[in-house]
Structure 1
């Protein structure tokens, strides 16, 4: 029963987020009140706040599944004896090939509208900073090793690289380039960025296993 209950909660959470994002895209983030979202979703304000403590969370919910994605990739790489940077690079390259919106390389109208909302709203941009901080913490824990500070520094650099790569893809797509035009440069930039990380970080498979 607990599994069914969690599934229902997740469905409700997704519905609330979708209703809110639809209103934000139509009217703008600041022009939509929490009360308006609750009314449109046919729930009470207390119910909405039970699922999303802050208005920004209604949008950033879409990133919830990806918050610990780098950490999950590294954990799987450690188990397989694969260097973490190699695993992360290949994960990003695979995302580019399938046009995963998380990579920024997606020109579907809905994705473009969402990116305009996200990057054009200061409150959401600030929320993304918090999300990235949690992603860094999870990645540092996955990297492990004898020096916690070194793991934190490495995680911060990796997350920053992922952010900049994604933002550059978003910028180029928003400027009118197609996915097909951006893809070769995005792949080259990803490979170059991870080469630089490899030159600056000592994250062998042995070190990754801690």
Structure 2
């Protein structure tokens, strides 16, 4: 079933509020813009903004894009024959090849990244998000492999995958800051993924293979 009129209007309103907010944040800084100002420029009420975004930080890092279950969900949805690390590697490659906004490869993301780095609350949220994703992934790996509560292996594998994920975002951020274009960045990061995959080793790459 396609998107209904009501759902489309809600999506469009959410997108408009987010775009207005990010534009103001980039122009003036995250801490220098209030939700009241965002509502005024978007021509909606303050309550409407909060109906779509529970917190000011959600305007930049919406839960659906910055979810602590992001890595865990990728692993849960992997196909038979795929390992946990293999599923995450494939997913990252797909998003990078697609120049997805969520990995920072859309036009103009450089200024957004600079704004985020300059805002202590956003920087802290990103750092905490990385820890939460690794923790959530460790739980899923332990459940799927039937590991004992005191078995360190699921946590260790989750840590390697979490580091891989963080490295990709750090490399994209570094290259964006240096002024490289999305196509150049994508090519370089795909090469980086090939190198990292070769370094992980069979114990990580072959861990938690989904049975057919």
Deviation at 1:199, TM superposition (A): 4.9
TM-score by length of 2: 0.76
What does residue 36 of structure 1 align with? 37
Distance 1:153 1:52, change over 3 A: farther
> Partners of 2:6 and 2:184 in 1: how far apart?
45
- Taking a change above 3 Å as real, the CA distance of residues 160 and 82 of structure 1, as seen in their structure-2 partners, is same
Q: SS where residue 30 of structure 1 aligns?
A: helix
> CA-atom RMSD, angstroms?
3.0
Query: How far 1:205 sits from its partner (Å)?
Result: 4.4
Does the aligned pair in 2 maintain the 1:102–1:166 contact within 8 Å?
A: no
- Report what 2:81 is aligned to: 81
Please list, as runs of the form range in 1=range in 2, the aligned pairs for 1:15-54 lying within 5 A after superposition.
Answer: 15-54=16-55
SS in 2 for 1:64: coil
For the pair 1:131 / 2:129, whether they are aligned, the reply is yes
| CA displacement at 1:9 relative to structure 2 | 4.1
Give the whole-Å Cα distance in 2 for the aligned partners of 1:9 and 1:152. 39
Query: Structure 1: which 4+ aligned runs deviate by more than 6 Å?
Result: none
Report SS of the residue matched to 2:60: helix
User: How far does the alpha carbon of each residue in 1:37-57 deviate from its partner, in whole angstroms, 9 at most, with x for none?
Assistant: 122223332332333232111
Q: Deviations over 1:2-49 (max 9, x none)?
A: x76655544433322222111111211111112111222233323323
**Distance in 1 of aligned mates of 2:88 and 2:124:** 25
Cα distance in 2 between the residues matched to 1:186 and 1:172: 10
Summarize the alignment of residues 115-154 of structure 1 with structure 2, pairs less than 5 Å apart: 115-143=113-141, 144-147=144-147, 150-154=153-157
User: More helix per residue: 1 or 2?
Assistant: 1
**What residue ranges of structure 2 are gaps of 5+ in the alignment?**
none
1:198 positional shift:
3.6
Cα distance in 2 for residues equivalent to 1:121 and 1:199? 40
CA distance in 2, matches of 1:76, 1:204: 15
TM-score (norm: length of structure 1): 0.77
